Structure 1
């Protein structure tokens, strides 16, 4: 019997982005990114149906295009980047469309489920084999001790508890 060969795929950060969206004052949406991250996929199947995903992001690399807001997000009100410099995700299952795994933010690890569009595999003009994924989902930030909250004079919540995730990822076969 032939043993399946594991293939490792490394993140292509030049062609990937890690984004999140949060309602602000319940009337608009703010988008943010993590600029410093790493990810890897291990698989033995060409369709990635047995893929194992792992991901880390440096919390201090958060970028919402507003320095004051970024400083607040790095504080203990949210990520506390000095004490918790990294957030991590490790998959526990993947069926080709749903990715389930353990997400750790601060000192809390929770199971989350993400929807995956596998966009296929191609060989680029430089001979590198690449695979593309679009991954989305949402989580409640308070589940991860990101509990800061405020209310406006009119009674509007300043920051929604619900955070939408959007990861556009390209991996290079190594």
Structure 2
């Protein structure tokens, strides 16, 4: 069987991250520009031959221009020097009927670390336009400090402004590409 190539449908996909602010509320950020390319042996995603995710750091949005500018600065993502966040899969393991573990290396600010993501496979369908699409919900957690995102401040009461733990969440719809 020939390998099947898939790419993200950006109008039906979103990639976000969540971080605690002042340890009392959560701020959500999005990557507005990203790409996912995957190669599988079949339409059922029984295995994944390759999968690469990239996001444009300059597309970060938290719905606050001042905060977004700070996130793109050298204090955080350093978008001038490191234009992309990248994840390259190294493994894909079935946990149950529709649950998988996606293993790979995440690269932020030029620092690569192994991460494991939880994947829920929503299924594969043919849309009204004849395109075959597959849907996934992806979740994970990382330590931002492991990737050189170490900026922080402390309040008068001694609380940190930004937590170390970052929650990752993505809703991804992939479109099967013609041979």
TM range (shorter): over 0.9
Partner Cα distance (1:108, 1:17) in 2:
24
Q: Does 1:50 align with 2:47?
A: yes
Length, aligned pairs only: 171
In structure 2, the partner of 1:28 is 25
Q: Give the 3-state SS of the residue equivalent to 1:14 in structure 2.
A: helix
Partner Cα distance (2:4, 2:139) in 1:
24
Relative to the length of structure 2, the TM-score reads 0.94
In structure 2, the partner of 1:147 is 150
Q: Does 1:130 align with 2:102?
A: no
Partner Cα distance (1:89, 1:107) in 2:
12
Partner Cα distance (2:85, 2:28) in 1:
18
Partner Cα distance (1:167, 1:145) in 2:
22
In structure 2, the partner of 1:87 is 85
Query: What is the RMSD of the two structures over their aligned residues, measured on CA atoms?
Result: 0.8
CA displacement 1:92-137 (0-9 Å, x = unmatched): 0001300000111011000000000000000001111000000000
Q: CA deviation at 1:21?
A: 0.3
In structure 2, the partner of 1:76 is 74
Post-superposition, which runs of at least 4 consecutive aligned residues in structure 1 deviate over 6 A? none
Unpaired runs of 5+ residues, structure 1, are none
Partner Cα distance (1:16, 1:46) in 2:
19
Unpaired runs of 5+ residues, structure 2, are 95-99
